[in-house]
Amino acid sequence: MNNIESILIAVSVWAIPVLTALTLHEVAHGRVAILFGDRTAQAQGRLSLNPLKHIDPIGTVLLPIGLFAAGSPFLFGWAKPVPIDARNFRHPRADMAWVALAGPASNLVMACLWTLIGRSGLSGLFGTGVAAAWLINNAKRGLIINVVLAVFNMLPVPPLDGGRVLVGILPPTPAHWLARLEPFGFWIVIALVYLESTHVISVLSPIVASLSNLIARLAS
């Protein structure tokens, strides 16, 4: 196997789980929004499973590539958010909290599915060739990527899903002040990514490890 083939394989076993995780995360938001009365994402064609519909140049491309090149133990990013119009909800704050939860919940479901695929591969269900090894590697990364996305997105800071959930369950006054952080959300996320190699990773690592181990045990 030459260097180019090795690079393509290394990239593919990260790219496929990342794109799948980010795409289904956003589609989950849009699908749950429909249940509560908002079809904005559907009307704008954002419920497609085509990753190209959801790619964000920074969050989907530059950030994961940069983390991969830097040898980061965590590989994460974000997709272009699906449009949600809370004015279409009967209970805007509470309904938005459920819509926000749908994204991380979808990642946990995907983590379980990747784990089942990985265990099936290790049992020999897909054979013992190069393709089987490639699929098992996808599954290993699919598990960790989805758990990282679920945990990172549940940090209680808007515009991350955890921040939106917190806005939905807090009393009106503190919820209002927390929601006012949303316009600065991009810079907050960038700051969290910058701190990833120091403070944030020390907090997230044991949570990610424990949740990954729990999913692996449940799948067995």
Map 10-40 to HEC letters.
HHHHHHHHHHHHHHHHHHHHHHHHHHCCCCH
More confident residue, 74 or 26: 26
Q: Are 77 and 60 in contact (CB under 8 A)?
A: yes
Please give the residue range of the domain that contains residue 77. Answer: 3-219
**What local confidence, expressed as pLDDT, does residue 31 receive?**
96
pTM, full prediction: 0.86
Q: What are the Cα distances from residue 165, in Å, to 116, 158, 169, 198?
A: 29, 9, 6, 26
Taking only the tens place, the pLDDT of each residue in 100-127 is 999 999 999 999 999 999 999 888 888 7
**What local confidence, expressed as pLDDT, does residue 195 receive?**
62
Total tally of structural domains belonging to the chain: 1
Taking only the tens place, the pLDDT of each residue in 56-81 is 888 788 877 777 777 666 666 778 88
As annotated, the active-site residues are: 26
Handedness of CA 5, 7, 9, 12 (dihedral sign): negative
